[in-house]
Structure 1
Amino acid sequence: MRFHALRNITATTCVVATVAECTVLHVASYSGNVTTFDLKRNDKGIYSLATLGVTNGSAPQASWLELDAKKKTVYGLDEAWSTPNGTITVYSNKKNVLEISKKYTTLAGAVSTIVYNGGKALAVAHYGAQALTTWSIAANDGALSNIGNFIFSTPPGPVPQQDKSHPHEALVDPTDSYILVPDLGSDLLRTFAINAADSKLRELTPFKVPAGSGPRHGSFYTPACKPGPGKCLAANKENTYFFLVSELANTVSSYKVTYGKDGLGFTLVSSSGIYGNVSTPTGAAAAEGILSPDNKFFHTTGRNAPFLTTPNPDSANTTALASDAIQTWAIDAATGKLTFQGSYPAGGVTPRQFSINAKGDMAAVGLQTTGRLVILKRDIASGAFGAVLASVEGLGGVTTSIWDEGNPRYAPLA
C-alpha cells in the first residue's frame, strides 16, 4: 500500500495528543482483504490515513460490507466468481479492528446485503446466482441461520449484458416492512413483504422499469427521515420516493412510492441521464446512488468514462490522473424531483461504491480500477465534492468503503 495525505504529513495514531479528530473506515477489495483505516486530522487541519488492521483472505472476492452499528458487527460478502458457493463473514469490532467471528456458506455471486426487521435478519442479493437469500440474526452473538432462498428465472432484458436475472442490491423501505431488489438482468424492481414475527419474506408482483435500462442501486427517500431502514415513516407513508440508478441506460430516476394492500407501487416523477449536462460517454456504466446525511441531495457515480482529472498523489509528479465522475442531484422535497447540480472528479477510475460520513463533509470513495481509496472534501451546503484530503494506493480492486461512526439509520430529522 502507498499512503498519501495533504502535504504528505506522516500518519499518527488516534491516541496521540496532537490529533484533533479521527474516524474509522472499513474497506473491502477484490484482492481478498478487508482493511480498517484510521482517518485523522491533526491540529493543523491536515488529514492522513493509517492502517489499523488487515483481515487477509477472509473473502477471496470481497464485494460488500454492511455495518450493524448496534451490535458492533460488520457483515462481509465474498462474490465467489469461480466457485459454486460464496460466503458471508461476520466480523466483530474489537477496538475498531475487525476480527472474523463466524463464516457461512451461501450461494455464489453475493454483491449486497442489508439488515432488516429491526436487526433480526439479513437479506443478501446474489448477482451471479440469480437469487436473494435471507438469514436470521441471533440476538446474543450475531450468528446467522438461513431462513429462505429465492431463485429467479424471469426472462432477461434485451441488452447483451442481460443474459439472465442479476439481482444487484437489497434495500429496506423506510417502514421496515418491505425488501426491494433491483434486478439488473430482468429490468425489475423485485418486492418482498417482511413477516415481522419470523423475518421471512413473501414475494410480491415486481415492478417493471424500462426495457434494457438495467436497474442497479437506489435509495428510498422521505423528507422527514435520515437515510436508512427503520420505522420512522410508519405514519407518513404517503410521502415516500425511490431514487433508482440504472447501469445500462446510465440514468437516475425518481419514483413516487405508494403503499397498498398488494405491496408497493411506483410512479415515475423524473428521469435524467446520469451525466447531467454532458452527453453519456460511450461505454459508461452507472454504479452507485446514495442520499446525503442531511437528506437534501442524492449522489451518484459513473464508471468507465474518465473524462475528468484528479491531482497525482505523487507530489513530485504534476501529471494529472484520469478520473470518473461523482454527481450531485438536488432533491425537491415537495415533489421528489431530482435536479442535476454538477459532476466532480471521483479521485480515480471505477468508483463502484462510496459513502459519506455522518457530518456530511467528507466522502470515502473506493476506486476499483485505480485500486485506491480516496477521502474527498464535500461541501454540506451545496453537495459539491472537492479536493482529495487523503488517499491510499495499492489496495487492489476496491469494492466497498464504509464509515464506522455508529450513527443510526433512518433517525427522525431534528
Structure 2
Amino acid sequence: MHLCFTYSLLACLSWLSLATAANLYATHYTGTVSSLSLERNNNDTYSLYLASSLKTCGSMPSWLTFDSASRTLYCSDETGDASVNGSVTSLAAGQNGTLTEITTATAPGGGVDSVIYNGDNGTKYLAIAHYTGSAVSTFRLPLDSDSQTHQAFHYNLSEPGANPQQDSPHPHQVFLDPSGSFILAPDLGADLVRVYAIDRSTGQLDTHCPDLTFPAGSGPRHGLFWETSHPILTSQLKTPQQDDLFLYTVSELDGHLKAFTVSYTSDACLHFEEIQSFVPYPDEQLPQGATLAEIRQAGGYLYVSIRTDHGFPPNDSIVTLDRSSDGTVTFRDLTSSYGTVPRTLVINRAGDLVVIGNQASSNVAVVKRDPESGELGEEVASLQIGEPGKVGTAQGLSSVVWAE
C-alpha cells in the first residue's frame, strides 16, 4: 500500500511516473464517497491509495453506478424507509481522482442499487432499487436541482413472508437484459424477481410482464444475464450465430443459486425455465449464518461472494464456478475474500483483477485473476476505507466500482 499524501509532492509524482493507474470509487456508510487509485508498477507489483474523499450522498451512501461517457457517478443513499425519503446524488469524477458533487435529488428511502438504461434519441435514465423503501424508482438523466422521480413503484405484502427479513418487499438490485429492453429487480422480501419492460420512447417502465417467482423463504438478492453464441449450419447460411440466454440468481435467505434459460416471447415479455438450483459451496452446505451476496461473470466463469462463512479465518470467501455448455454450473474453488463480509465484487474489463469490497472489515482488496483459467490468485493490494463495521448492521464499506 502506498499513501501519496504521506510523501512530498515531488517524490509522489516521481513514483507515479513509473506506474500505470486505474481509478476506483468506494462508498462508506458513514457518509463518504472516496476516489482510489490503483497503480501497477514496472516490477508488476500494485499499490492502492486514497486519492480523495468527499462527504456526500446523504448519511448512508450505499451504492455507486458509473457513467463512463460523462464520467458521472450516481450514488444511492440508503437512509429512510417506506415512509421517509432518501436521495440520489450525482458526482463528477475527474480523471485525476477528484470528486465534485453536482446535485442531489429526493428519492424513495433505502436505495441500495442502480442501473443506467437508454431511451430513444440518446436519452438516459437511472433505475434504483429501494430495499427498506419497498420500491423501484426511475430518474431521467442528467440529474439537476429540479429532478423528480420519473416513476416510482411502491410495493406491499398481503402478509409477512417465511423469514423475519421478509416483513415487507425488499427490492435489492436492478439490472438490464442484454437487449436493453427489460429491467429485472430481485425482491428479497417478496420472493420474486420483478420484470419491467422499457418503453424507449418515454423511458417509462411497464409492469405488464409476469414476474419470476421463487419458493417461499428464498430471498432472491442479486442476478445477472449471460448470453452465449455458437455457430449452427444451414443449407443457406454456413456460419450464422444462435444465441443462448441464461439468467443466474443468488438468494440470500435459502443460500441457493438458480439458473434459468431465457427466451423472448411474442407478447414482448420474457419466459424463464429453471434448469438448476443448488447451494454453491463445498458439499452444498453453507456454514451457519453464512449468506450469498454478490454474483459476477467473467469469461466462462461465475463468482459468488460469501458473507460470514469464515472460510479463511478471520476472512470470508469467494466461490468460483465453472459453467457447462448447457448453462449449468458446478463448484470449482473457494478462495479468500481478504476481509469480512464481502458485500461487493467487481472485475475489471481486462479480466485480470478482481476488487472485493469487504463491508465489516471496511477494506478494498485487489486480487489477481487469470483471464484464461478464471483462477483467482493472491491479494496484490488492500486499503482500509473508514472505520470497520459491525457484522449484521449497515456499517462499514458499502460499495466499490471500477471507473471503466
* TM-score, normalising length: structure 2: 0.87
Which range is displaced more, 18-27 or 243-252? 18-27
Q: Counterparts of 1:201-280 in structure 2 under 5 Å?
A: 201-203=205-207, 204-224=209-229, 239-260=244-265, 261=267, 263-277=269-283, 279-280=285-286
Match of 1:290 among 293, 296, 307: 296
Q: Which 4+ residue blocks in structure 1 deviate beyond 6 angstroms?
A: 9-12
- CA separation of 1:384 and 1:10: change in aligned 2, threshold 3 A: farther
Three-state SS of the structure 1 residue aligned to 2:133 is coil
Q: Which residue of 2 aligns with 1:67?
A: 66
Structure 1 residues 262 and 42, CA, compared in 2 at 3 Å: closer, same or farther? closer
Distance verdict in 2 for CA 1:194–1:346, change over 3 Å: same
Q: Is the CA contact 2:93–2:100 (under 8 Å) kept in the aligned structure 1? A: yes
CA separation of 1:123 and 1:237: change in aligned 2, threshold 3 A: farther
**CA distance in structure 2 between the partners assigned to 1:40 and 1:162 by the alignment:** 43
SS at match of 1:222: strand
Question: Residue 186 and residue 17 in structure 1: after superposition, are their counterparts in 2 closer, same or farther (change >3 A)?
Answer: closer
Which whole-Å deviations, capped at 9, do the CAs of 1:225-258 have from their partners, x for residues lacking one?
9xxxxxxxxx989621111010011111111112
Whole-angstrom distance in 1 between the partners of 2:2 and 2:377:
16
1:400 aligns with 2:403: no
SS in 1 for 2:164: coil
> 1:78-101 deviations in whole A, cap 9, x for unaligned?
100578221100011223322111
1:109 alignment partner AA:
G
Inter-partner Cα distance in structure 1 for 2:8 and 2:336: 25
Deviation at 1:276, TM superposition (A): 3.7
Aligned to 2:234: none
* Larger RCO (alpha carbons 8 Å, 6+ apart): 1
Residue 192 of structure 1 corresponds to 196
Q: Give yes or no for the alignment of 1:353 onto 2:344.
A: yes
Determine if contact 1:10/1:48 at 8 Å carries over to the other structure: no
**3-state SS of paired residue (1:239):** strand
Where 2:136 maps in the other structure, the secondary structure is strand
| Per-residue deviation, residues 120-142 of structure 1 (Å, max 9, x unmatched) | 11100000011000111149x89
1:249 and 1:356 map into 2 onto residues whose CA distance is: 26
Unaligned stretches of 5+ residues in structure 1: 226-234, 310-321, 406-414
Change (3 A) 1:214 1:236: farther
Deviation, structure 1 residue 330:
1.6
Contact 2:364 2:382 in 1 (8 A): yes
- Give the SS at the match of 2:166: coil
Between 142-151 and 240-249, the greater mean CA deviation after superposition: 142-151
Q: Provide the rounded CA distance (Å) in 2 between the counterparts of 1:262 and 1:72.
A: 33
Which residue is 1:231 aligned to?
Answer: none
Secondary structure of the structure 2 residue equivalent to 1:277: helix
Distance 1:15 1:347 in 2: 30
Matches of 2:403 and 2:23, distance apart in 1: 5
Q: Give, in whole Å, the separation in 1 of the partners of 2:162 and 2:195.
A: 22
Displacement, 1:194? 0.5
Q: Is the 8 A contact 1:252 1:273 kept in 2?
A: yes
1:77-116 equivalent positions in 2, closer than 5 A: 77-81=76-80, 84-95=84-95, 96-116=97-117
Partner of 1:323: 315
User: Equivalents in 2 of 1:35, 1:384: separation in Å?
Assistant: 29
TM-score for the superposition, normalised by structure 1:
0.85
Give CA-to-partner distance per residue, 1:306-350, whole Å, 9 cap, x none: 1214xxxxxxxxxxxx11111111222x32111211110001110
Query: Quick one: distance in 2 between partners of 1:253 and 1:117?
Result: 28
Could you tell me which amino acid in structure 2 is paired with residue 146 of structure 1?
T
Distance in 2, Cα, partners of 1:213 & 1:4? 43
Taking only the aligned residue pairs, the percentage that are identical comes to 31
Which of the two has higher C-alpha Rg?
Answer: 2
> Are the structure 2 counterparts of residues 76 and 143 from structure 1 closer, same or farther at C-alpha, using a change threshold of 3 Å?
farther
The amino acid of 1:129's aligned partner reads: G
